Every structure is written in structure tokens, then in C-alpha cells.
Amino acid sequence: MDYKKKSFFAPFNSLKYLLKDPVTIRYPKENKKTYPEVEGVSPQYRGRHFNDLEKCIGCGTCEDICPTGAIQMVEFDDVKEKNGATKKRPVIDYGRCCFCGFCVDVCTTSSLGMSREYVNNFPTPPEATEDTQGEIISKYFIIRPDLNFSKNQGWITDNNYSWLELKRVVMGIFNPEERSNSFLEIVKGYTKEEAILEARRCVACGLCKDACPIHMDIPEYIMAIFNDDVKESVKEIYKTNPLPEVCGRVCTHKCESVCSLGHRGEPVAIRWLKRYAVDSLPLEEYKNVIANKPIKQAGKSVAIIGGGPAGLSAAYFLSFMGYRITIFEKEAKAGGIARYGIPAYRLPEDALNKDIDFIKSLGVEIKTNTNIDKNMFEKIYKEYDAIIISTGFDLPRSTNLSRNGMENVVGALPFLHDVREFLSNKISDVKITDNVLVIGGGNVAFDCSRSVARLQKMKFGKVKVTQVCLETPDIIPADKEEIEESAEEGVTLIYGMGPKEIILDDKGNIKGLDFMKCESVFDENMRFNPKFNENERLICEATMIIEAIGQAPDYSFIPEEYRSKMKFERGKIVLDENYSTGIEKIFAAGDIVKGPDIVNGIATGLNAAKGVDKLFN
Amino acid sequence: MNQKELIEYIKNNFKGIENIKSIDEKQFSITVQKERIINILSFLKLSNFKELALITAVDWIKEEKIEVVYILFSYEYEQQLIVKTYIDRQEPSIESIKNLWEIATMYERDVHEFFGIDFIGNDDKRPLILHNWKDIPPLRKDFDSLKYSNTIFGKFKKDKE
Amino acid sequence: MSEILTYLGKDEEYEVYELFFGPNHPGMSGNFSYILTVDGHTIKKVSPDPGLLHRGFEKLVERRLWLQNIALIPRICVPEPDINEMVYSTAIEKLCHIDVPLRASYIRTIVLEMARLSAFLFGFGGIGGTTGLYTASYWSISDRDYLLDLFEWLTGARVYHMYILPGGVRRDLPNGWTEKLKETIDYLQKRLNEYDRLIYNNPLVIKRLKGLGKIEKELAIEYGITGPNLKATGVKYDIRKMVPYAAYDKIDFDIPSQNEGDGLARAIQRREEFQLSLDIIRKALKDIPDGPVRANMPNPLKFKVPKGEVYVKIESARGEHAYYIVSDGGDKPYRMAVRGGSYTAGLILAQKVLVGCRIEDVALWMATMDICPPDFDR
């Protein structure tokens, strides 16, 4: 490109620019309108932060992702306490913040966002000296939770572009046709690849740890699974949980209900990850992974009455402290409610045995088929240095409908017990008819109805189970999965009805049950006190009735002189601060302390073990 | 020549290659002994790998080795070639290639400054980027930038890691 | 550090001085200096003196998680930060074998070309500033603002966008954005004629640039000169075409090139590539498909990259911008080496080409070569 000789008029040519609009914009007289809907900066501008304190759970994920270390979690006293949240809230230092918005994109609750405010100027404090000026400036430069800079939303979290993996890895489940005619375990369990993918979702906030009754090191064992180090994972699990196979299947997973990922998506499948870890390590390997030497030699002997989860847990922890443990179990095998209350399709025999075998291998003696009565109790009390009572809730509650001698009306626990015995070929048959009615809305009721469904399918080839509960769908205590899966297996569920009377035919056999409408389950004080409307009735035909409306404790084996000194509240034993019953050498654990829940059983087992150890030190 | 033929060609015409592997369809890497580095690079330059894109290094502190990396490019084959060699970490030294590519002088000066590698034959060891640097070469793995910053500028209240 | 002017001695005709050129100069996008040995006003020797801008990126990335680095690396280059995100994300995608959704590739293409346009506009200002045509600087910086507005709308920030992530992009295009971009492209197209009148047809510029810092084809390749500077010497090589990334392989375009290899050819090459970028954006906007904008990616706190090493380069406004990334299979990069587009031009070629030029040519030469100090002083 070369240039031409310029004409004489060329300089005048540029005069035309005098009439043109200038390229630059004379702000503030003029303003270029770039964004159609808003004034000023763009709709998703990354300006200064705002944080909805009510929504924020203090998980600290923003602190972890911050590339500049600008975010610090600070504990605040005036933050309202709520379940599944810490009292910490993010404090952002604008001297370091680079406005990348990563904290917003990983926020687990969408509480943190960025505003469209960016101007950050403030008057120089004239009175400030060198000592005080830092403090004054930090008022403007550090956003604390109690300051809400702006509500003018800019860059906010969006589930469509989430940095967190909001969806769970799908767990393989046998379909209803396959599972409903056998007691095969329903949930297939994660494969290695699936488990690593699921473990990858965890942000290691540790909220689950606080929610777990036994405070398991959940982020740590999930991290170990993510690193494909099952041994390390099992080691972390066994630090706090002696029954991981059981908990990995039937735990009430309070951890998952507080999981920070659950606010925007699905919580991490913590329970199944635990199950994956223990399932993939054979029992023989346990010895190499978990320290099996007692940390000290106490040299004392402890008797545990009841070989359920709480008793086994107490035995596990005490054996590490060097105590000689004897468990007295009235059934043929240890396990308690985990064996005789939970159906095999949720907790298979092998898994339970693996947990118990490991505890046995620590030197714990389990005397099965040993029923404790008052005399025996006195004997044990003299022989042993301490006693832990963990007998559980093993008496079925009844609706008081059945009159004496009425056959075909059974309690939930005896029924489930028989099913378990039938499956392990102890008894040849479980009594069952082709039309069964189950009363109750808890998990145990579902266990019964689903077991019945399976037995009916095996025996008669078709299912006819009706389950009736007092509660409406919003307050039913059972898990959601139970309701869904039982429906798939052919159980008919009727909500909001209470039993009134059993209808008999001429021969005195059961023909059906008369129900009345339940208006409300709880009274003003949220106490269980159902109100019925007798005008709305429903008659269900059935030839067998299973009552699954709760269980009660049995304290008849404790001699009167001890029992009179114990304190009871609503059937449960009240413990003092040393986890003792108030009587020398006698401790208690399990359902009789905290009510029916396996993981609470383990927690109280640990507490009892602590109490025992405190007694001798 | 496509990449496969090129790899074959190099394998057949240059003896002493320890490892040759394809990274993707436009990129492959060659590992050679430290002593052979000038030979391979001059061979490659003659085989139309005319552009020296970068000289850099990686400190493998656990293996007690420093990996010196030469990145070449051929406009003719449109192939990127990564030539690697391993040298001792305690006394890192390697022949300079400044006679092959003049621009290597600056790359080598840069790498010398950040890794402490002695390029035999390249006497220009004046500091390029880090004026008045007194610590160990900063891109070595045992140089802790946070510790350095804390001693020079004072400690920051929140320290990750 | 040297004095600004040091007396060295006298030769036959003139007194010889050492001149400290820099570190702040309007024609430069960073702090960088040359120490010139001058004989009168003719340059005898050039020695580059970087280090005033060193921030230690290569070390800093080793301390941060793979994803956290996205917030750090754009800072390597101010005029065109997106190329860093692109190289880094592409490297991770290559190491992890992640397929990027097609829509994300197109959005990346558009964003990269927009960044390129804004870098070229910066460069127009540079040429204007160094030749004394300050109108060009005002014009180009205010035109660049229209692009920054669009960036702000799309990514939430004006300069450091942190928009391109491993696996795709951060957000989809907002409603109405595409139309606004089309408007802006048409506006810039119109403005290009004005720039032609102001700069490229301006006798003053032509006279100053013609023959300045002429580089031969062979020398350019030998010295690792890339990008528009290489194309200005007649080598029709463009990474977008030859080693395509993003959606460049799906867009049809021709590479412009010049033959002279001097300052004027380089300036005109940049102006041609400005036109090319406008065309590429138009074509990309026409073809952009629907779909997701990010592949399924792991939680950033538990993101590990498999062991391996990769050299990824892309075409920036200054040439081959590349990272050599080594992963040891951990959650942080083991090593990341940055090869900026003007590394060799600014540090090595200058020593050869600037000898014999005059002092006032240094800044102009740097503007035509588009030397960006962060490229070597990263």
C-alpha cells in the first residue's frame, strides 16, 4: 500500500468531522444503554457479595474454593441456630477478593450471591491515626455477615450451571417382579466406579459429622473411598462405628438429611458409601486394618444383657479398653432387633454376621440362648464388676382389640422373628393367610407388610396385603422409599384410619376389621393423642391381622430392689451424667434409653462404655 | 508424513531413543539420554522441526531428577514434538543448544534462573527476571512461596495449607 | 537497576550513552524496559530488562486446585485474558479426555474472537500512540468498551472474565445478547473504514512504518516468531486453521497474509485479521447450535487430572500462546510453563532487529510487533 499525493483541499476535508457525533460518550450527560432491562451495570454483574443469613448453613464450601483466601468462616453468636447448620458465616475481605464468583457457583444453599454494586469508596477518616486506620478501613473493606451490602442481585447460583454434582449416582435396585417373591436384598450396592463417582460429590463440609449420633468421620472415609483406599476408609469407619454393615444398610441416616448438597440437589449417599467400603473389604483383612490390641488393660469384667446393636457397641468399645466382656443373649444368635426385627431383604444375614464375627474376634464372649431372670440377674450382679442393660423394646404393643385366644392376630415383632427363623430354616413354616391386614405406619409396619407380600407370593402366588395407618401422607413416620417400594410390591396403603372393632364370622374366625376416620393424631402439645370420627367408617376384609403399632420395653427381669431405685420416663430409663442408672455398677444402653433407632443404640452403647470406664478410673 | 510415519522415521534414523509416545494426533514426545540431547535436536532440526517453541523444566523432587523439556514444531508436518531428558537434581547441568538455535540463549537463561540448571556453553547467567534474588531457584519444588512471602512481607492471618 | 542515562565514552563522531528505555511507556501494556546503547540516536546494542512485572504465576498455580487457577491465569495477559482460560481448559480437557458440548465450543469461539478484537483495538491505539496520532487511542479504547460491555453482560466482569472452564463455559448466552453482539459487530465494521482513513491510509503512518524492523521468513521461523508477525512475512500459518480448537474447524475462513515482513505489513496484517475476526463471529453466530454449555464435571474440590503432560497452543493476537502442563495425577497442577506470544520477539528478536534503528523507532517497533511484557514476565 502506498500513499497518493494529497490534494490541496485535503485539510478542509477533515472539517466535516466537526459535524459528526463524537465517538466517546460524554458521561454523565449521555449514557450508553447497553442492557435492555436494567440501568447501570449488567444484569449478572459480579459485584460485592450478599449473603442470606437465614439460608446460609455455614458449610464453608465458599472458603474452600476461594482462590485468593479472601473468605474466612467466623463464628457469630447472633446467628439463629438451626438443624444441620453451624454458627459460622463467611466474612469476605475485599483487599483479597478477585470477584471471580466461584464462591457463588459452589454455594450449597444458594444463599451467597453477588450484587450489582461495585463502587467501593469511602471518606478517608481524618481523625484516624496509624494505629486505628486499619480498623476503620476494614469496616468498608471487609464484609461481615451482619452487614448486608446490597440486595441488588447480580451473579447468583444457578442449578443449570452448577459446579456441584447435584444428582446422585443411581443405585441399582432389583425391580419389583424380581424381588417380591424372595427375601433377596433389594439394594444392589455400589460398584467401585459408582462409589468413587458418588464419593466425588462430597464437599467435605462436615455437617454430617455433627448430625450423626456417633459423630462418624464421614468426610474422611468418603475421601478415602474417593482415593480408592478402602482400607483407610474402613479404618476411619471403625473408629466410631462397630456395626458398619448394619448401619450401611438400615441406618436412619440423619447425616443425609443435613447434607449440604441436599439443599440444591440430592444429598450424598453416605449410608451406601459406608456399605460399599465395608462390603468390599473381606473380614480376614479387618485385622490388618483396624488396631485390634486393647489400648490398655483394665482387667475388669463387664456383663452386657442383650446382644442387640447397643450391647454389641458397648462390648466393642469396652474390649478396646481392655475389659473382659460377656454378652447374655436370649435368642439363638446375637444381633437383637437388627436380626429379628429387620427383614432379610433389607439386612441380609451375612452382613450382620460379618459385623458380629469381627466383634467376637476381639475376644467378646456371647452366651446365646441365655434368658436372664431375677435370680440370674442377682448372680451376674455379684459376679461381674459392672452390668450394662441393653434389652431393647421387645414387647409388642397391642391395640386391645383382640380378645383372648383369638388366633390370627399377631404382633409385629413376633411375626418378623418367625420370618427370620423360617428363612434360616429354624422353623418350617410361618403362619400366613391369603388376605392380611397390617395396622401401623412406621417402618416396622412396612417391614411386616412387605414380608407378608413376599411370603404370600411364595406360598399363594399372589399378593393381598392391606396396610392401614392413622397418619396422613405428610406426617407418616416411615421412610419415603418404604412407601414407594411397598406399593411396587403390591401392598395397598390406606391413610388416616384407626381400628375400631374386629369382625368375626359365625365360626369365630376373623372376617375383617372395622375402621373409623382419624381426625388428628397429635393434640395441641404435640403428644400422641388421636381423635376419631366414628361416623366415617371403613370395613376391610382380612383373615389375619398384624399389629405394628410400636413396641414396649420389658423390665420384669430386674429385681424389685433395683428397679424401684431407677428413674423411668415414658418407659425409658433416665441416666445420670455418667451414663449410669443411678445404681452402682448398673448402666443402660439402647432403645431403653433413647428409643428405637439403631445408630442411637450404638451411641448409647459408646456412652455406657465411657460410663463403665469412668467408674474404674 | 503423518505422525505414525514420522515416529517410524525418527526411530529408524536416530538410535538411542528411550521412549517415544503419541500424546494426541498433532503431538508426540521423545525421551532421550542427557548425552544425546544435542544430537537428537540437531537431527530434528534437520528433519524440518525448525521452530523451537520453548525450553522449560520440571522438578521431580521425589525421583531426585529434573526433567528438561524442549518443545519443537514443524511447519512442514504440522506436528508438535516434546523432547525430554532427565538430569541429576543435585548438580543439574546439560549442554547448551545455543549453537543450534540462537533464541535458546534466552530460554536457557530463563530456565537457569528458575531451576538453577547449568547450561554448559551458555555463559550468560545474568539474572533476567528476578533482580536481587537470594533464595533457592523459585520453581524448584522445595521452594515454599508462602513461607517466602511470610518472611518478606509479614504473616497473613489466614494460612491455607 | 541502571541510571536513566549513563555516559559510556566517545567514538569517532558521537558520544555513546546507555539509555534506560522504559519501564513505563504509552505503547506498552505492562512494565518492561530495554537498556539501549546509543550512539547519537542510533541504537548500537539492545539488552532487554524484564522483571518489573513478575508475579510468579508458574509457581502460584502449583499451590491451587485445578479449578481455582481459572481465577488466576487470565491475569497473565490484560488485553486478551480469555486465551489463558482457553489454553488451560483445553489442556485439562486433553488430559482428562473430556468432550466439550458443541454449543460451548461455539460460544468459546465467539468469546475468543471478541477478545481478539479487543486486543487488536488495543493495538490500534498502540500504533496511534507511538506515532503521535492520539485520536486513534481515544477511538479504539472507546470502541473497545462496547466489547467489554458485552463481556460484562455475558460473564459478569469486564476484563478478567473467568468464563471458559474445563468442560465448557460458565453460563449460556443471555437473552438479547446475540442481537447486541450483531449490532456491535456491524458498528465495528463501519468504524474500520474510519480506522483505515486514520491509520492505514495515513501517509504519516506509512512513512514511519515502511521498512521498520523487517524480518525475513526464515529468520521469523528460526526465531519462533508466530501469529500475525509471521503471517506478515508470508508464512500462511494459523493455529486456528492448522491445529483447530474450539469450533474453528467448523467455520470456513481464509487466512490473510502479507509479504513484506516490515512494520507496515504487520500493521496491515492486524487490520486484516480484525476483519477476519468480525467475519468469524458473524459465521459462528449463524451456525451456533442449541444444547448444553458444559459437560458433566466433577465437584471442583475433588477434581483430579490424570497423570500426563500436554503442550497446548492457541492463536492469540500476538501469536502462539501456549501452556505446557504436567499433572502428577493430583488435585493441583504439578507444573505449568507459559509460552507467551511475544516471548521471543520481545526478548531475542529485539536484540537483532533494533540495532541500527533510532530511539524513536523502539516504541513503534514494539507496537507493530505487539509486544506484551506479561508474555515473558509472567
- A193 shares its domain with A116: no
Q: What three-state secondary structure class fits A244?
A: helix
On chain A, the residues whose CB falls within 8 A of the CB of C201 are 1, 3
3-state secondary structure chain C: CCCCEEEEEECCCCEEEEEEECCCCCCCCCCCEEEEEEECCEEEEEEEECCCCCCCHHHHHHHCCCCHHHHCHHHHCCCCCHHHHHHHHHHHHHHHCCCCCHHHHHHHHHHHHHHHHHHHHHHHHHHHHHHCCHHHHHHHHHHHHHHHHHHHHHHCCCCCCCCEECCEECCCCCCCHHHHHHHHHHHHHHHHHHHHHHHHCCHHHHHHHCCCCCCCHHHHHHCCCCCHHHHCCCCCCCHHHHCCCCCHHHCCCCCCCCCCCCHHHHHHHHHHHHHHHHHHHHHHHHHCCCCCCECCCCCHHHCCCCCEEEEEEEEECCEEEEEEEEECCCCCCCEEEEECCCHHHHHHHHHHHCCCCEHHHHHHHHHHHCCCHHHCCC
User: Hey, what amino acid is at C151?
Assistant: F
| The Cα angle at residue C208 between residues C204 and C211, in degrees rounded to 5 | 135
The neighbours of chain C, by the rule of 3 or more Cβ pairs under 8 Å, are: A, B
Report yes or no: A340 and A420 within 8 Å, Cβ to Cβ: yes
Q: Mean pLDDT across the stretch C206-224?
A: 86
On chain A, the residues whose CB falls within 8 A of the CB of B158 are 69, 72
Q: What's the number of CA atoms in the CB half-sphere (13 Å) around residue C46?
A: 25
The verdict on a CB contact (< 8 Å) between C310 and B27 is yes
Closest Cβ–Cβ partner in A42, A102, A204 for C71: A102
CATH fold for the domain made of C57-342:
Cytochrome-c3 Hydrogenase; chain B (1.10.645)
Q: What is the pLDDT of residues A235-254, one digit of tens each?
A: 888 888 888 888 888 888 88
**Of the candidates C294, C298, C323, which has an alpha carbon nearest to the alpha carbon of residue C91?**
C323
Closest Cβ–Cβ partner in A46, A67, A106 for C72: A67
Mutate to test the interface with A, among C75, C184, C202, C301 (most CBs of A within 10 A): C301
On chain C, the residues whose CB falls within 8 A of the CB of B53 are 224, 311, 313, 320, 322, 339
On chain A, the residues whose CB falls within 8 A of the CB of B156 are 69
- A482 shares its domain with A386: no
Residue A27 domain-assigned (yes or no): no
Range of the domain at A258: 176-289
What does the alpha-carbon distance between residue B85 and residue B39 come to, in Å, rounded to a whole number? 13
Residue A20 domain-assigned (yes or no): no
Say what percent of chain A tops pLDDT 90.
Answer: 0
Say what percent of chain B tops pLDDT 90.
Answer: 7
Q: What is the pLDDT of residue C326?
A: 92
Closest chain B residue to A66, measured at CA: B160
- The ipTM value here is 0.89
On chain B, the residues whose CB falls within 8 A of the CB of C310 are 23-24, 27
Q: How far is B54 from chain C (nearest CA, A)?
A: 7
Closest chain C residue to B105, measured at CA: C348
Report yes or no: A557 and A374 within 8 Å, Cβ to Cβ: yes
- A94 shares its domain with A149: yes
Report yes or no: C112 and C118 within 8 Å, Cβ to Cβ: no
Closest Cβ–Cβ partner in C172, C200, C299 for A200: C299
Q: What is the pLDDT of residues C313-324, one digit of tens each?
A: 898 888 888 999
- A375 shares its domain with A489: no
What does the alpha-carbon distance between residue A433 and residue A253 come to, in Å, rounded to a whole number? 35
Q: How far is C191 from chain B (nearest CA, A)?
A: 35
The verdict on a CB contact (< 8 Å) between C152 and A2 is no
Mean pLDDT of chain B: 85
Please say if the pLDDT value at position B161 is more than 60.
no
Lowest mean pLDDT segment, chosen from A287-296, A311-320, A471-480, A554-563: A287-296
- A447 shares its domain with A545: yes
A192: DSSP letter: H
The verdict on a CB contact (< 8 Å) between C156 and A45 is yes
Is B23's Cβ below 8 Å from some Cβ in C? Answer: yes
Q: Mean pLDDT across the stretch C294-304?
A: 87
On chain B, the residues whose CB falls within 8 A of the CB of A73 are none
CATH of the domain at A259: 1.10.1060.10
Residue with grid cell 468469524, as numbered in its chain = C280
Q: What is the pLDDT of residues A557-596, one digit of tens each?
A: 888 877 777 787 777 888 877 778 877 788 888 888 877 7
Q: What is the pLDDT of residue B160?
A: 45
What are the Cα distances from residue A110, in Å, to A52, A71, B33, C226? 9, 16, 55, 45
Q: What are the structural domain ranges in chain C?
A: 57-342
Q: Mean pLDDT across the stretch C99-113?
A: 91
Give the start-end residues of each E strand in A186-316.
Answer: 301-305
Beta carbons within 8 Å of C321's beta carbon, 6+ residues apart:
C77, C83, C84, C87, C313, C314, C315, C339, C340, C341, C375
The verdict on a CB contact (< 8 Å) between B24 and C94 is yes
Please say if the pLDDT value at position A405 is more than 60.
no
The neighbours of chain B, by the rule of 3 or more Cβ pairs under 8 Å, are: A, C
User: Hey, what amino acid is at A593?
Assistant: V
Q: What is the pLDDT of residue C89?
A: 92
Record the cell numbers describing residue A567, joined without a space.
Answer: 428413674
Q: What are the structural domain ranges in chain B?
A: 3-153
Closest Cβ–Cβ partner in A25, A68, A204 for C301: A204
The neighbours of chain A, by the rule of 3 or more Cβ pairs under 8 Å, are: B, C
Q: What is the pLDDT of residue C185?
A: 92
- A609 shares its domain with A517: no
CB environment A531-544: b (16+ within 10 A), e (fewer)? ebeeeeeeebebbb
Residue A166 domain-assigned (yes or no): no
| The Cα angle at residue A544 between residues A543 and A550, in degrees rounded to 5 | 150
Mean pLDDT of chain A: 81
Q: Mean pLDDT across the stretch B42-59?
A: 88
Domain count of chain A?
Answer: 4
Mutate to test the interface with A, among B146, B158, B160 (most CBs of A within 10 A): B158
On chain C, the residues whose CB falls within 8 A of the CB of B145 are 56, 59-60, 63
Highest mean predicted confidence (pLDDT) among A460-474, B136-150, C29-43, C271-285:
C271-285
Residue A37 domain-assigned (yes or no): no
Please say if the pLDDT value at position C288 is more than 80.
yes
More confident residue, A444 or A404: A444
Q: Mean pLDDT across the stretch C268-280?
A: 91
Domain end position, chosen among A96, A126, A161: A161
Q: How far is C127 from chain A (nearest CA, A)?
A: 17
Closest Cβ–Cβ partner in A34, A114, A202 for C149: A34
- A482 shares its domain with A577: no
Phi-psi region of C64 (alpha: psi -120 to 50; beta: other; left: phi over 0): beta
Q: What is the pLDDT of residues C237-248, one digit of tens each?
A: 888 888 888 888
Q: What three-state secondary structure class fits A575?
A: coil
The CATH classification of domain B3-153, taken from the options 3.30.460.80, 3.20.20.80, 3.40.50.300, 3.30.9.10: 3.30.460.80
CATH of the domain at A72: 3.30.70.20
Mutate to test the interface with B, among C335, C336, C376 (most CBs of B within 10 A): C335
Q: How far is C377 from chain B (nearest CA, A)?
A: 7
Record the cell numbers describing residue C239, joined without a space.
Answer: 493455529
In order, the DSSP letters of A331-358 are: SSSS-THHHHTS-TTTS-HHHHHHHHHH
Q: Which value, to the nearest 10 degrees, does the dihedral of the CA atoms of residues A551, A553, A557, A558 take?
A: 180
Mutate to test the interface with A, among C179, C199, C302 (most CBs of A within 10 A): C302
Query: Which pairs with CB-CB distance under 8 Å and at least 24 residues apart come from C22-26?
Result: C22/C49, C22/C52, C23/C52, C25/C363, C26/C129, C26/C130, C26/C137, C26/C363
CATH of the domain at A339: 3.50.50.60
Closest chain A residue to C161, measured at CA: A100
